[in-house]
Structure 1
């Protein structure tokens, strides 16, 4: 499983329109700000939402510190998706949020 730093994710977002960032934090956490291009799917809702996702896309999983997104990455990859974890999570994200 590949992990990306926040800096690497920021660069990937700038360079790749096909990349999908999924923020797996809870609703109240996301209300403080998320990566502008990120789709919000809380971790406990991911098993239900996965049927609506495209297996041909690359996914970067994000949470507050990197632990929940690591679990989400493992789940996504076990389900046949190409997913990677953003290490350090939003605690390390030093770029714009919305």
Structure 2
């Protein structure tokens, strides 16, 4: 089962907690704004970028609505990585964004 995170992510960031965020949206979507500190790796490029991920670190995967990020979470989970899906994605994000 894939772990999920929702509004608690905003709280973690406001509290200054170190979280690893990976935004898997396309370039034009990311141009509209990302959560500060997120790393942009498009969904289709995740398999070629596995060296970025560390099996001892938990990653929060983000997309527009939570669907693509769920698929990326399932893939990374199968590879042995610790991941959480940001439910509702950027459509539900009320925190800060940067361009």
Normalised by the length of structure 2, the TM-score is 0.91
Deviation at 1:15, TM superposition (A): 4.5
Give matches, 1:11-50, under 5 Å: 11-13=11-13, 14-17=15-18, 19-50=19-50
CA distance in 2, matches of 1:22, 1:42: 9
Which residue in 2 is equivalent to 1:4?
A: 5
Q: Which residue of 2 aligns with 1:66?
A: 66
> 2-side partners of 1:81 and 1:12: how far apart?
21
TM-score normalised by length of structure 1: 0.92
Q: Structure 2: which 5+ runs fail to align?
A: none
- Superposed CA RMSD: 1.0
Task: Classify the secondary structure of the residue corresponding to 1:84.
Answer: strand
User: What SS does the corresponding residue of 1:28 show, helix, strand or coil?
Assistant: helix
Higher helix share: 1
Q: How many residues align?
A: 96
Q: Any unmatched runs of 5+ in structure 1?
A: none
